[in-house]
Chains A and B, each alone.
Chain A
Amino acid sequence: MRIFVPQDSAALALGADRIAQAIRRDAAARDRDVTLVRNGSRGLFWLEPLVEIETAEGRVGFGPFTPADVPALFGDLTAHPKYLGLVEEIPFLKKQQRLTFARCGLADPLDLDAYRALGGFAGLEKARAMSPAEICAEVKASGLRGRGGAGFPTGIKWETVRTASAEQKYIVCNADEGDSGTFADRLIMEADPFCLVEGMAIAGRAVGATRGYIYTRSEYPYAIRMMSAAIDLAARAGLLEDFRLEVREGAGAYVCGEETALLDSLEGKRGQVRAKPPIPALIGLFSKPTVINNTISLAAVPWILAEGAPAYAAFGMGRSRGTMPVQLAGNIKHGGLFETAFGITLGELIDDIGGGTSSGRPVRAVQAGGPLGAYFAVSQFDTPYDYEAFAAKDGLVGHGGLVVFDDTVDMAQMARFAMEFCAHESCGKCTPCRIGSTRGTETIDKIIAGDAVERNLALVTDLCETLKFGSLCALGGFTPYPVMSAIKNFPEDFRGPAAKLAAE
C-alpha cells in the first residue's frame, strides 16, 4: 500500500507530520505493509492536508485530512468520509493546463529518479545540444514574459546577457515572493525543486554564466531547506557540470523583491533600489552581466526547451503567451494554484474555478497582482486574464495572485493598508515613496474620519500621481493601483456611513 502525505509548508502548517506519524503507527499496529511517500503539494490547498493512496485505477485522494481520519484508510476506501475519488479527476486539477507545475505533488520532491522518470532534465539535455544563441532564440520564440510581474520578454533579457562580454556572469533567481496571495514560487521550490535547478542551469548555458543564486524569503524556511538539498543532490550527481548554484535567504524586506534591491541585498548591502539604467543585464550582481528572472520564468524554461517554443506559444492570447500559475487566495472556497493559459476571465477564475467565497457571502472585491495590484469589482469580472487587458483596466497581472474579499470588507481600510504597507516597506531611497506613503496614510485617515472628504480625496489622487511618476521602483510607483482602484471602484466606502447606506 503506497500512501502519499505532502511535506509542503501548507500541509505541514495543517498537521501533515502528525498525520504521517498516525499512519505509520496505525499501519504497524495492523501489521499492514505501508510505503509512505512524502510528496509535494498538488497546489489544491483547500483540500490540504491531501492524503493520496495508489490504486489500480490511479491515485485517490482524501482531504482535508486529520489524524482522526487515519483508521478508515484501512477499510473500504470509497466509504471513507474524506474520500475525493481520483485526484486527477478533481475538476480544479482537471481543468488546468499544467506545464510548469505538471510534476508538482506527484513524487518526493528530492527523488532524482522520479524527477527523471517524469520528464525531468529533458530540457537541459536538449539545451546542451544547442548553441547558446539557439537557446536564447528558442526562449524568445516561446513568447515567455517575466512572471514576476513586469512581463519583460525573457528571451530578450537572456540575449542581452549572452552578447555582453565579461569574465563572470550570473543567473539570479528572484524567489523573493513577498506578494500576499502568492505561493507559486514556494510551491515550485517545495514540490519540484529540480525543475528550478534545471531552468537555471539552462539559463547559465544560454548566456555563459557559471554561477547562480536563488534569493528567497526567510518566511519560507521549508523552501530554503528543500531547494538547498535539491541543489546538493543535483551537483553531486554531476548534473550541473561547472554551474555553481546557491540559495540565499532574505531578511524580511518586501522591497528586495524589486530586482535591483535584491541584487544589492545579495551583495550584502541594505536592500535599496538602484536607479536604472544601467540595466542588470549589463551591470548586475557585483557589477557583472546578470540574468535576473522570477522563479516561475526560470521554471517554465525546461518545458519550453523539452517541448519546443511553438508548443508553449500555442497557449495564451495576444502578447501573453503560454500559461500562468494563477493563485486563488484569501476568502475563497477553492483556494490554490491554477495553472492555465492566458485569456480566461477573472469571473471564471473566481466563481467557476474558485467557487466564490469561503465565507459563503457575496464576493465584493478581488485584489489582483499582490499588495501593489488593483482592487477589481465584480462588475469587472469579464476582464480576460492577460497582461494588456489588465493594464487597460489600470490593473496588474503581477505574479498571478488573486485575493478575494467578501462583502464585509471596508475598502477605505484596504486603501489605507496599501499606503501603510508602502511606508513600512519603503527602502527610503526616493522621496515620493518614503514620505508620500506616510502622508498618504494620514490623509486616508482623515477621509475615514469624515474630515473634508472631497478635498482630501483630491489630495490623495494628486499624491498618487506623484508616487506613480516620481518613484524609482514599483513599490512607490504601483501603490497608487490599490489606492486609486479602491477609491474609483468602491466610492461608497470613502464617503462616510450615509453614502454606504445609500449604496446598499
Chain B
Amino acid sequence: MASGQRRVDIEEVGDVTIARFVDRKILDESNIQIIGNQLFGLIDEDGRGKIILDFTEVEYLSSAALGKLITLDKKAKAAGAKLRLCSIRPEIYEVFAITKLNKLFQIYDNQEKALEGF
C-alpha cells in the first residue's frame, strides 16, 4: 500500500498491535474503504491476535465507518483475535451508545487501560 494512502498508524507494544487513526474525520466513503482494508489486513494478512484501535485523533465518525468496525469485529472473532477500542471522545462515544455498539465493543478510556490485562 502506498504510504500516501496509509490512514492508520501501526505500533507494537509487546504482543499487542495498536492501530491509531490518522484522520480527524472518518466520513468519506473512499477513505473508509482504505481504512477498512488496512485494518482487515492486520487480521487477514498479518494474523495479529490482539488489536487496540486508538481514536485519539478522531472527531467525526459516520455510520459507514461503524459498519467497517462491525465487519472488523466479525473478522477478529472468526480468526480468534481480540479487539479493544480506546480514547474515544464523548461525542463519538455517544454515537456508539446511541447505536448500542458500546455493548458490542470493549471500550477503554485510554491506551494504558486498554493494554491492562490484554
**A and B interact physically:** no
Which residues of B are in contact with A by a Cβ distance under 8 Å?
none
